[in-house]
Amino acid sequence: DASHRVILYLEGITVTFDGFRALNALTLYIDAGELRCVIGPNGAGKTTLMDVITGKTRPDTGTAFFGQSLDLTRMSEPEIADAGIGRKFQKPTVFERHTVLENLELAMKADKRVRGTLRARLDGEARDRIAETLAVVRLGQVAHRPAGTLSHGQKQWLEIGMLLMQQPKLLLLDEPVAGMTDEERERTAELIVALSSERSLMVVEHDMDFVARLGGKVTVLHEGAVLAEGPLEQVQQDPRVIEVYLGR
Ligand code: ADP
């Protein structure tokens, strides 16, 4: 069944720092086209999980596959990015002095598949892709403004747009609405839900209202392993999850 094709397959992943297990035999599968939220208290291993997926950290043990055949534990960070895993860190990193449009062009130039034939394609297909992306992230009105003049929310959307230029199959977002206004949060929720129609997303988020707004399956991490998994309403009623979040 194609709708349940696993795009990310992690099994028994352990990462140790000085004897401390940041990830402890973690097992997690994400389906193609899925929007997955990952939650968990500080120190649960969320960042380490994203580091393993993107090749920044190599697990001590465990299996990590992307798609049918790509062994993430044997790939470098650039190889993993080229294979279609995009990651957005919490803080926006855009080129402040360049316009929104130029930022998207620069992001496209970083795409290895485009690089070789860039000059020819920037006139045609690439321009269409940039225009399309500007519309998706709703920055068409500010396309010619330097990125440094954008609001915090707009910078975050621009960076998501920059990631989209590389056409990721799986997009990892780290606390995408941190520091945003309510209105920006709602627009970001709409954007993420729209994005999830064409790719898989993994969203690490602390804001439970936002997680609820996104819908989909939630994975609760605790002490480097999956504590609970399912719809938010379900995991929120799980006594183990309540204990982890509220203490005793
Ligand atoms: P989260 O993102 O859920 O807050 P992290 O993945 O950042 O959790 O961290 C999990 C645990 O691993 C924490 O206890 C953290 O202190 C530890 N840790 C993370 N990275 C390192 C590192 N490079 N060296 C030592 N300990 C680390």
Last residue of a domain, one of 130, 151, 167: 167
**141 and 240 in a common domain:** no
**135 and 62 in a common domain:** no
User: Could you tell me the pLDDT band of residue 146, with boundaries at 50, 70 and 90?
Assistant: very high
52 versus 92: which is more confidently predicted? Answer: 52
pTM for the model: 0.92
What is the percent of the chain where pLDDT is above 70? Answer: 92
Q: 204: CA distance to ligand 1 center in Å? A: 15
Residue type (1 letter), 65: F
- The pLDDT tens digits of the residues spanning 11-61 come to 999 999 999 999 999 999 999 999 999 999 999 999 999 999 999 999 999
* pLDDT surpassing 60 at residue 115: no
User: Could you tell me the pLDDT band of residue 76, with boundaries at 50, 70 and 90?
Assistant: very high
Number of domains, the chain: 2
| Containing structural domain, residue 27 | 1-84+170-248
Query: Which of the residue ranges 21-25, 65-69, 187-191 would you say has the lowest mean pLDDT?
Result: 65-69
**109 and 159 in a common domain:** yes
Q: 48: CA distance to ligand 1 center in Å? A: 6
**100 and 220 in a common domain:** no
**125 and 179 in a common domain:** no
Q: List all residues whose CB is within 6 A of at least one atom of ligand 1.
A: 17, 20, 22, 40, 42-48
Q: Is the distance from CB of 180 to CB of 169 less than 8 angstroms?
A: no
User: Could you tell me the pLDDT band of residue 223, with boundaries at 50, 70 and 90?
Assistant: very high
Last residue of a domain, one of 167, 192, 211: 167
Q: 156: CA distance to ligand 1 center in Å? A: 24
**147 and 32 in a common domain:** no
Averaged confidence pLDDT in the chain: 92
* pLDDT surpassing 90 at residue 113: no
* ipTM score over 0.90, yes or no: yes
**118 and 68 in a common domain:** no
**176 and 80 in a common domain:** yes
Last residue of a domain, one of 103, 134, 167: 167
Q: Which CATH number belongs to the domain containing residue 228 in this structure? A: 3.40.50.300
* pLDDT surpassing 90 at residue 195: yes
**184 and 61 in a common domain:** yes
Mean pLDDT of 235-241: 94
**66 and 4 in a common domain:** yes
pLDDT at 18: 93
Mean pLDDT of 217-223: 96
**78 and 192 in a common domain:** yes
> For atom 24 of ligand 1, which residue has the closest CA?
17
Tell me the best of 18, 20, 173, 202 to mutate to test the pocket of ligand 1, counting ligand atoms within 8 Å of each CB and taking the most: 20
**109 and 141 in a common domain:** yes
